[in-house]
Structure 1
Amino acid sequence: MKKAGRVTSWNADKGYGFIDVHADVKDIFFHITALQNRSVRPKPGDRVMFELGKGKDGRLQASNVSILGAPKPQNQASVLPVFLAAIALAAIFAGALGGFLPRLAGAISLVMSIVAFLAYNADKTRANRKEWRTPEAHLHFLALCGGWPGALAAQHLLRHKNRKQAFQAAFWGTVVLNIGAMVLRKTLVPA
């Protein structure tokens, strides 16, 4: 059953806050993962609707929290990054076949893209189940080893790790390093 309340506090750095329900109950805890639309950050005074449940520790907490007046979350994945990932993978493959990139670059990039996509999918599944997660360094390593097109597609199709700015900065760094290494390898060691 949905309940109504107001946000009394929000700690943006730690990703949690509390909701006042105007009852004889203490303020209700809620975590950022309980928000239905994470693109809008809660602030004290926001009116919210939520469901009441118990956390792993047995204490009351809010779930399915929606901020009243906030835009509804969009469930459609952006097609442009997925299209760009497919184009990049095709360009790497064509460059390898044409001799512009190292000969194995196309096959390695294809295999690593599949592995990266599967790793993102597994991490997203674990995140939803609140299980042990894949370290971000492992995801970046897969991208660095040529799987960045698959990682880019996974980020947007699965809506996973595509908003975290520090992760995105490191991810795009791996893309630049991967492409730079392929070009440098080809110029230093011709086929």
Structure 2
Amino acid sequence: MKKAGRIKTWNTDKGYGFIDIHAELDNVFCHASALRNRGISPKPGDRVIFELSRDAQGRTCAVNVNVLGAPPPRTSVSPVPLLFGCIALSAFIVAGVLGALPPVIGWSTSVMSALAVLAYYSDKQAASRNARRTPEHSLHLLALAGGWPGALIAQQLFRHKNRKTSFQVTFWSTVALHCAAVAAWVAHSTGLV
């Protein structure tokens, strides 16, 4: 059953706040993952329509939250990061097959990228159901282990974790570390170092 209310408080850094539904109940918890208007950060006083649910601990929370007057959710995929992820994944595979990189790097990048896509998909589904989420450090470890091309593709396809600044800073750091490790391995194995 749909409910109407107003955002009472919102913490943009932590990604959650509370909805006031006019003394019908206590303030209702709302996580950013419950927002249907993902491109915005609600402000106190914004009118919302939502459904009541329970989280994993049995507490009342809001789901399917629409901030009235907000722009519709973004539906297009950003082509540049998606293309970059596809090219990077292809380059690692081809370089491994042709011997420019050790074959284990090409195959491990493929496997880790596939695992990253599955992890992002699973986390996106869990976020929409207010279920147990995949820890961010696990997503970063997959990227660091060579799954960053798949992670980049998944971020765009599922529109997940691609707008959170702190996550993106750490993600691109893992990309740089992985590429530096591959370059060091290649330099060492070819006798350049």
Query: How far apart, in 1, do the equivalents of 2:129 and 2:2 lie?
Result: 23
Which AA in structure 1 matches 2:160?
H
Give the conservation status (yes or no) of the 8 Å contact 1:116–1:139: yes
Deviations 1:85-129 (A, max 9, x none): 111112222333444333432222112211221222223333333
Secondary structure of the residue that 2:40 maps to in structure 1? Answer: coil
Unaligned runs of 5+ in 1: none
Residues 20 and 85 of structure 1: is their aligned pair in 2 closer, same or farther, counting only changes over 3 Å? same
Residues 110 and 13 of structure 1: is their aligned pair in 2 closer, same or farther, counting only changes over 3 Å? closer
- RMSD after superposition: 2.6
The answer to whether 1:10 aligns with 2:31 is no
Query: Which TM-score applies when normalising by structure 2?
Result: 0.81
Unaligned runs of 5+ in 2: none
> What aligned pairs does 1:61-80 form with structure 2 within 5 A after superposition?
61-80=61-80
Which AA in structure 2 matches 1:18?
I
> What aligned pairs does 1:1-191 form with structure 2 within 5 A after superposition?
1-14=1-14, 15-21=16-22, 25-26=24-25, 28-32=27-31, 33-51=33-51, 53-56=52-55, 61-190=61-190
Residues 136 and 67 of structure 1: is their aligned pair in 2 closer, same or farther, counting only changes over 3 Å? closer
Secondary structure of the residue that 2:64 maps to in structure 1? Answer: strand
> How much has 1:175 moved relative to structure 2?
0.8
Q: Which has the larger radius of gyration?
A: 1
Query: How far apart, in 1, do the equivalents of 2:123 and 2:21 lie?
Result: 33
State percent identity of aligned pairs: 47
